[in-house]
């Protein structure tokens, strides 16, 4: 009797691919789980293995003192449009050197400047809120580069007020 060779069936290769896929998914899950463990959890696991106590750093992190006094400040910024001088009123609330609130009041007198200031007012906040006041420098907001100049002018005056 002659030995017979077995030919793999199509289903066998599908089963092998599925098994390989399952192994890969399990490996990805295990890696993800390990990455999700916090440092504290990892320290606790190591502590349990070595019977050493976990010591947490409870010292407060040093805060950098801001040169600006907390509070709300208002100033009028000036800029020159093609139609002549324009103004915009800016109010900024600072806490620890961070802008926590802001508002802009359009003071334009020319129709096109009024339109640009209104577009600016509708869209500038995400560029300012939560940022360090020293990092705020607006260039062009909603097509309005001149209103941005007025805002920046008012912001410089506010920084001076907040320091003095």
pLDDT in tens, 54-95: 444 444 444 567 899 999 999 999 999 999 999 999 999 999
Which segments of the chain does DSSP mark as H helices, in order?
A: 10-36, 39-50, 111-123, 145-163
What CA–CA distance (Å, rounded) separates 39 from 55? 12
Let me know: does 124 contact 106? Beta carbons within 8 Å: no
Residue-wise pLDDT for 84-121, tens only, equals 999 999 999 999 999 999 999 999 999 999 999 999 99
Q: Which CATH number is 71-163 given?
A: 3.90.1010.10
Closest by Cα among 129, 123, 69 to 96: 69
Residue 41 CA, chain-centre distance (Å), reads 27
């Amino acid at each position: 009797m002659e030995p017979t060779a077995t030919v793999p069936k199509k289903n066998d290769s599908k089963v092998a691919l599925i098994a390989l896929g399952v192994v890969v998914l399990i490996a990805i899950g295990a890696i993800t789980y390990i990455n999700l463990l916090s440092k504290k959890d990892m320290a606790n696991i190591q502590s349990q293995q070595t019977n050493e106590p976990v010591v947490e750093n409870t010292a407060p992190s040093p805060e950098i003192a801001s040169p600006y006094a907390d509070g709300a400040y208002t100033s009028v910024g000036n800029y020159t449009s093609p139609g002549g001088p324009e103004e915009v009123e800016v109010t900024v609330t600072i806490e620890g050197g961070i802008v926590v609130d802001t508002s802009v009041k359009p003071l334009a007198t020319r129709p096109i400047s009024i339109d640009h200031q209104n577009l600016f007012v509708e869209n500038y906040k995400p560029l300012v809120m939560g940022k360090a006041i020293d990092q705020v420098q607006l260039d062009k907001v909603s097509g309005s580069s001149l209103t941005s100049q007025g805002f920046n002018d008012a912001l410089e005056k506010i920084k001076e007020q907040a320091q003095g």
